[in-house]
Amino acid sequence: MTEPFRSSEEFDEQAHQLYNEGRYDEALTLLREGLQLHPQSVELHVGVGYAQLASEQYAWARQAFEFALILDPEHEDALAGLGETALVIGHLQQALTAFQRLIDLGYDDDHELMLQVGRALFREGFFVEARRYFELARAHHGESAELAASLGYTAHRLGLEADAFYWLRRAIALDEGYPEPRIYLANILYDRGENDAALHHFARLRPEDHFDDLGIWRTIELLKVARGLEDEHAELLPWLARLAELGGEPSPEEMLLGEIEGLLPDGSRLDPNQLELFGTLMREVPEMHKRGASEPVGHVIETLDGLTLRGTWDDLLLQLQAVEGAWPDGTLTEFMQAFAQRGHVETGVRIPVTGAEAFLRGAAEAGVIRILE
């Protein structure tokens, strides 16, 4: 009995499943079988490119993407794949041209595609360019925790610590169950010597949230110091068990390298280069815009909830108290003191409460708000 004829879509779907399971050689074999029957299928050529890219067959991957683009010069996945491959082999201009073509074709609103491009640039160390694509996607997908986290990782690599604090905390605010930005933030705080703030975040994670042992060792260390726990205390046992699952106790050399490279592109899970692949439409606060068009706006801030507030420093302080909602009957001083205390607990940054401008600038340094203008 002859084998039933399969369409190019069926080949592509089956190969995609194999690819997602990490079975790249099998996916390639199936895709090539499909191309014998459907040599003009753009999707199958694109699939070959991605399977070869995943297998580090970069020259062949590039050729597959280029052939797909001969068949369809505007195919978005082929353009993204060609750009990613060109980056890896050091052809920066070809990569940037392919990525820019996606923008010219209007794909800046494609959440997954912009994340793919941004992460490819990030992995190769082009942080400024990566941020551009994350920002483009953020304009259309302001509630994406992945985009907010990616902006946080990128800001940290660019040395923009206040922005990193803001975006990592924004990601956590959007999805409290998303562990990677909290792990990254906790490690930044640990490296700054803000142990109480680091423990605040490490303690909100579960052992199974970690895929790198550095964060687990730090959690154990902070718990022992903060709570006076002995090595065999029951509270530490789940963390020690997770360490065993990840490969046991590291050598002294590995521990040293972990301390030095824990937040650098070393291939570890903590590195956002390796996060599971791994922002905001500004929402206006009702009744906040009553000024005439010719009247100066003053300043603009963005809260962790993605709200945009405008006005003088004094106006902004009143608006922030209103939108936070926790101190409706309290004085401004009480609000500032409570707000500053929360910021210090979570980031270790001391926010001054001597006046509206100093308070808001300090809040921005702590990543509690972001000053846009």
User: What is the DSSP secondary-structure string of 152-188?
Assistant: HHHHHHTT-HHHHHHHHHHHHHH-TT-HHHHHHHHHH
- Tell me: the pLDDT tens digits for 214-245? 889 999 999 888 888 888 889 889 998 888 88
The reported pLDDT for the residue numbered 334 is 77
The reported pLDDT for the residue numbered 77 is 92
The reported pLDDT for the residue numbered 300 is 87
CA distances (Å), origin 173, targets 143, 195, 303 = 10, 21, 10
The reported pLDDT for the residue numbered 107 is 93
Residue ranges of the domains in the chain? 1-105, 283-371
The reported pLDDT for the residue numbered 261 is 38
pLDDT, averaged in runs of 10, over the chain (373 residues): 68 80 84 86 88 90 92 94 92 92 93 93 90 92 93 90 91 92 92 90 91 88 88 88 74 41 39 30 27 52 81 79 62 79 81 86 85 83
- Tell me: the pLDDT tens digits for 149-180? 999 999 998 888 889 999 999 999 999 999 99
- Tell me: the pLDDT tens digits for 28-60? 888 888 888 888 888 888 898 988 988 889 999
The reported pLDDT for the residue numbered 117 is 94
The reported pLDDT for the residue numbered 160 is 87
CB atoms within 10 A of CB 104: 9
Query: The domain at 1-105 falls in which architecture?
Result: Alpha Horseshoe (1.25)
The counts of H helices and E strands in the chain are: 18, 4
The reported pLDDT for the residue numbered 273 is 31
What pTM, to 2 d.p., does this model score?
0.69
First to last CA, the chain: 72
CA distances (Å), origin 166, targets 198, 278, 291 = 15, 18, 28
The reported pLDDT for the residue numbered 73 is 94
